[in-house]
Amino acid sequence: MSVTTASAAAAPLARTPMRLAVIVGSNRDGRFAPVVADWAVDQARGHGEWDVDVIDVATTVLPAAIEVPGMSESPEVAALGARLAAADAFVVVTPEYNHSFPAALKHMIDLFRDEWRAKPVGFVSYGGMGGGLRAVEQLRLVFAELHTVSMRDSISFHGAWERFDEEGQPVDAEGCASAAKGMLTQLEWWSRTLSEARMARPYDV
């Protein structure tokens, strides 16, 4: 008769981290984006469920001309497309420019199609009184067209320049970390669920 000890039976199975692409959406000179993005990346890495890849529109070379998604011969577009395709989920860090999100971010999004489909996306926004929320609401429409699932909860920094200290950390570190944990946990659930669904049945609708 074999005996299984309680400790062996209860040993948890290690879970493979999911692949998260954090997209930094601002390319303006003197931008505040790196402060917010660095914090978001730290939160994702500390969450324990993510292998993080940072994609910055300010340092990503892309063709200026509008191209049909999936039809570009540019090696830069192909390289970025491979990184997006490898991701299981996305977090977009965006400011609000003139009541919307940056043109450079829209251009990057529009160069691709299949790389986004049937994957979840979360948002971290920043700005003045609105906290970038109008940019996020417009991005939800764009990503819905691309067949993504956007997270209900987002993170927004209103009056962002006063919300971070000299070390680049939120003044309300505990509250912000709690908000990040909530969104990242939602994102992780959808990431695993949709990844399993895509493997079981390719999303070709």
pLDDT digit string, tens, across residues 84-142 = 999 999 999 999 999 999 999 999 999 999 999 999 999 999 999 999 999 999 999 99
Q: Which of 27, 64, 3, 20 is nearest to 188 (CA)?
A: 20
Across residues 1-15, what is the average pLDDT? Answer: 49
* Residue 156 in tokens: 């927004």
Q: Are 60 and 27 in contact (CB under 8 A)?
A: no
Q: Which of 184, 95, 76 is nearest to 139 (CA)?
A: 95
Tell me the β-bridge partners of 97. 100
Q: How far apart are CA 137 and CA 125, in angstroms?
A: 11
Residue 122: strand, helix, or coil: strand
Tell me the β-bridge partners of 54. 22
Q: How confident is the model at residue 14 (pLDDT cuts 50, 70, 90)?
A: low
Q: How far apart are CA 109 and CA 9, in angstroms?
A: 46
DSSP classification of residue 97: B
Q: How far apart are CA 181 and CA 117, in angstroms?
A: 24
Which single residue is written with the structure tokens 């691709």? 112
Instruction: State yes or no: pLDDT of 8 exceeds 80.
Output: no
pTM of the model: 0.91
Q: What share of the chain is helix, strand, coil (3-state, %, to 5)?
A: 40, 20, 40
Across residues 69-83, what is the average pLDDT? Answer: 87
Across residues 40-53, what is the average pLDDT? Answer: 96
Q: How far apart are CA 80 and CA 100, in angstroms?
A: 24
- What is the distance, to the nearest Å, from the Cα of residue 112 to the centroid of all Cα atoms in its chain? 15
Across residues 139-148, what is the average pLDDT? Answer: 98
Task: Name the superfamily (CATH) of residues 17-200.
Answer: Flavodoxin domain (3.40.50.360)
Q: How confident is the model at residue 11 (pLDDT cuts 50, 70, 90)?
A: very low
* Residue 177 in tokens: 């970390």
